[in-house]
Structure formats: structure tokens, C-alpha cells
Amino acid sequence: MDRFLEVFNSVVENNRAALEKNQISSFVEWWYDSWVLKLQKKGWSSTALHENPIHSGIFFSIWLTEKDLEKSVFNYNIHALKLRELEGYTIKSREFANDFRLAFTSDQSSWKNVSVNYGPLTLMQGYMPLVQESFEKDVDHLLKKFIPLCPIIDHLFEVRKKVK
């Protein structure tokens, strides 16, 4: 099943210029019993993506598990973990999540099977049908939909910077 990691790596490589332009790092791995693609913009975490495969900050994930294969689905979400620990910011997780969801409302209907009805750690989450023939195209589509959300998150961080 390394095919899923190959697809994730291929999508990252095909979008390398856009990811670099937007200062987005990627992590592709078999991780916690899942095939995972994670994207995180520089500055959205207190640790570099390559140093710590995302235990804090904000990141976008696309993943699937063995159970997802049985159901023929794969998942995506934006997590916001340990935001209070980010240096240089004063962040209340619930307020941050609410502000993101308010800004996301105008685009929400264009995301397949998405919900924002979660606690503050999951800003949004959805799933898509797993169709082998279109999986790479579907992952590419999600990655490209995530990039325009970056300025929203950047703004939410900007207004929460600590005043020196």
C-alpha cells in the first residue's frame, strides 16, 4: 500500500513551486497507522515540520487508514493543536476556531463532505470517496483548495501577535 505514499509524494512534487511560494512544508509518511500527507506553513508552529512531525500549531492533513480502505473513503482536516504554547502570540483556541470558521463559511460549500462541528482542535474536517483512478487528482484538488485558506490563518495569527 505504499501507493498512497507515492501519490502523496507525487502531488507534493507537482505542487512544489506553489508550496514553496507560500512557505508550506510537507510531511508524507506512514504515521500512527495511517498514510498521511501533512502541510504546514512556516510560522504556524513552534517547531519545524522536519524536526517534529506536527504535534503543535496548525496543519492541514489528508490521510487514510486500513478501515478507510474498507469504507472506500479518505479524510482531510485542519488541526489547531496547542496554540496557547506558540511563542509571540496570545491565542485562545476556541476564539481562534470560531474566527476561522466564520471566515471559512463563504467557501465551506465547495469542500466535499466537510463539517466544522468540532471542538477547537479541529477547525474543519471532511472526507472524500476513495476512487483509485482519481485518487491523485482528488488529493491534488484538496491541496490546491487548502493554499487559499493560508491567508485567512495568517490573518488570524497576525491579529493575535503579542504587542512588544
DSSP-based three-state secondary structure for 111 = coil
Bridge partners (DSSP) listed for residue 127: 75
- DSSP-assigned letter for residue 82: S
Q: How far apart are CA 11 and CA 98, in angstroms?
A: 30
pLDDT category at 19 given cuts 50, 70, 90 is: very high
Rounded to 5 degrees, what are φ and ψ at 139?
A: -65, -45
Residue 114 lies in a domain: yes
Share the mean pLDDT of the chain.
92
pLDDT surpassing 60 at residue 96: yes
pLDDT category at 51 given cuts 50, 70, 90 is: low
Residue 44 lies in a domain: yes
Helices and strands (DSSP H and E) totals, the chain: 6, 6
Residue 164 lies in a domain: no
The number of domains in the chain is 1
DSSP 19-58: HHHTTEEEEEEEETTEEEEEEEETTSSSS-TTTSSSSSEE
What is the domain extent for residue 120?
Answer: 2-158
State residue 43's pLDDT score.
84
Please identify which residue in the block is written with the cell numbers 498521511: 36
Answer for the pair 13, 37: CB distance below 8 angstroms, yes or no.
Answer: no
Residue 163 lies in a domain: no
pLDDT surpassing 90 at residue 86: no
What is the mean predicted confidence (pLDDT) over 123-150?
A: 98
Residue 113 lies in a domain: yes
Residue 90 lies in a domain: yes
